[in-house]
Amino acid sequence: MTVQRRHDPELRGFASDNYAGVHPEILDAIALANGGHQISYGEDAYTEHLQEVFRAHFGATATVYPVFNGTGANVVGLQAMTERWESVICAETAHINVDECGAPEKVAGLKLLTLATPDGKLTPELIARHAWGWGDEHRAQPRIVSVAQTTELGTCYTPDELAAICELAHRHEMKVHVDGSRIANAAATLGLPLREFTTDVGVDVLSFGGTKNGMLLGEAIVVLNPDAVRGMQFLRKAGMQLASKMRFISVQFEALLGGDLWLRNATHANAMARRLADTVRGLPGLRITQAVESNAVFAVLPKDVTERLQKRFRFYSWNEHTGEVRWMASFDTTEYDIDTFAAALAEELRDS
């Protein structure tokens, strides 16, 4: 049977950076790792070498555990950091709260203590609202502060902001988890090496994203503080996140992080989001709602404009009540894509 192409390769959308294909350098790496036999379940040469790759970015104590997806990385990582009676403090908009179908609660058995925040970012002052009650048997014990870098609203924590969160958490014998599904975009925005706003500020465990930045599939749990976890290898298997042919996940990360591909992809995606924001900012009837600090643009549109524009381009309505939408740029988004979308948006606004 001959496989036929069943999609238009010229089609572009702005709904998610998961819509993009696989970067050619990643595909080449997968082909390189193919052929012959390698030991399964992570005992292959590529996964062994991957420890060196991640330690070059995060320091000598870092240990990496490749997994299938971001939800798996978050859930297994949080499980390894907590006991069953403990809880996780996070933003109300956090992916672990609103976009993982209750997996942290159902699979990990964790109570999420959420906080409303206008820009998706936690602060020590906000965290303090839930950081109490230790020893009270009636209260789920606060043990983890989980932040997303970048946040679900596309904003980016500075190293000082993360250091302040880690200081508060560690002072109360809590641990810090970072959902880094778009951490490469944060590094591109900050202009800093990855360890300067993770390991060096006190982050304990990180979920590192690859799929949104050009990989075929695969994320990673990166343990920065070995004392913050226990049973990771067992929980990864029990959580159905242990890949049998792990070499094909690991070699993708090597291609991404072994050179500067991770940063090139993220820098480009961020630049395309800024181009979109700069092009449409000021259009009558449109208001950008968040600082554009990654590859996401959030804006409020009239409902009829959103509905018509969605027939021409895929993107998500973020808040049906306020009319807020989200537009995402990817590593393969072009200036032509942005300009075509912006022109269509301006046309629909004129017709509203």
pLDDT score for 268: 98
pLDDT tens digits for range 199-234 = 999 999 999 999 999 999 999 999 999 999 999 999
Helices 183-190 and 261-280 cross at an angle (nearest 10°) of 70
Contact 183, 219 (CB under 8 A): no
The closest of 74, 87, 65 to 152, measured between CA atoms, is 74
Distances (CA, A) of 327 to 158, 183, 220, 269, 292: 23, 18, 25, 12, 11
> Residue 172: CB partners within 8 Å, gap ≥ 6?
131, 134, 142
The closest of 17, 24, 21 to 7, measured between CA atoms, is 21
Q: Which residue has the tokens 């004392």?
A: 227
pLDDT score for 212: 98
Helices 303-310 and 335-350 cross at an angle (nearest 10°) of 130
Q: What are the tokens at 159?
A: 């190293």
The percent helix, strand, coil of the chain (3-state, each to 5) is: 40, 15, 45
pLDDT score for 352: 79
Domains delineated in the chain: 24-257 (3.40.640.10), 262-350 (3.90.1150.10)
In 134-246, which residue ranges form alpha helices assigned H by DSSP? 159-171, 183-190, 232-238
The closest of 58, 88, 78 to 236, measured between CA atoms, is 78
Q: Which residue has the tokens 């709904």?
A: 15
pLDDT score for 351: 86
pLDDT below 70 — which residues of the chain? Answer: none
Amino acid in position 27: L
How far apart (Å, rounded) are the C-alpha atoms in residues 160 and 146?
16
The closest of 269, 275, 270 to 293, measured between CA atoms, is 270
pTM strictly above 0.95: yes
Q: Which DSSP letter does residue 150 get?
A: S
Long-range contacts of 135-139 (CB under 8 A, 24+ apart): none
